[in-house]
């Protein structure tokens, strides 16, 4: 998955990490599809 919160990344500064709200939105989108 492309939506990964910082706690799953090796560094918090990783530019690809998203906040918990974005993570939640991504999960909700997955469930709805």
Task: Please report the pLDDT score of residue 18 as a whole number.
Answer: 63
- Whole-number Cα distances in Å, 32 to 1, 25, 27, 28: 16, 11, 9, 6
Residue 10 is given by DSSP the state S
Top pLDDT among 31 and 33 is at 31
Residue range(s) defining the domain that contains residue 2: 1-33
Number of folded domains that form the chain: 1
What's the whole-model pTM score? 0.38
The residue with tokens 């990783």 is 14
- Whole-number Cα distances in Å, 22 to 3, 9, 33: 7, 15, 17
Task: Please report the pLDDT score of residue 12 as a whole number.
Answer: 55
Task: Please report the pLDDT score of residue 14 as a whole number.
Answer: 56
- State pLDDT tens for residues 2-28: 666 655 555 555 555 566 777 788 888
Tokens coding 4: 């990964």
Give the 3-state secondary structure of residue 22.
helix
């Amino acid at each position: 998955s492309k939506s990964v919160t910082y706690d799953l990344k090796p560094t918090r500064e990783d530019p690809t990490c998203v906040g918990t709200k974005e993570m939640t939105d991504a999960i909700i989108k997955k469930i709805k599809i």
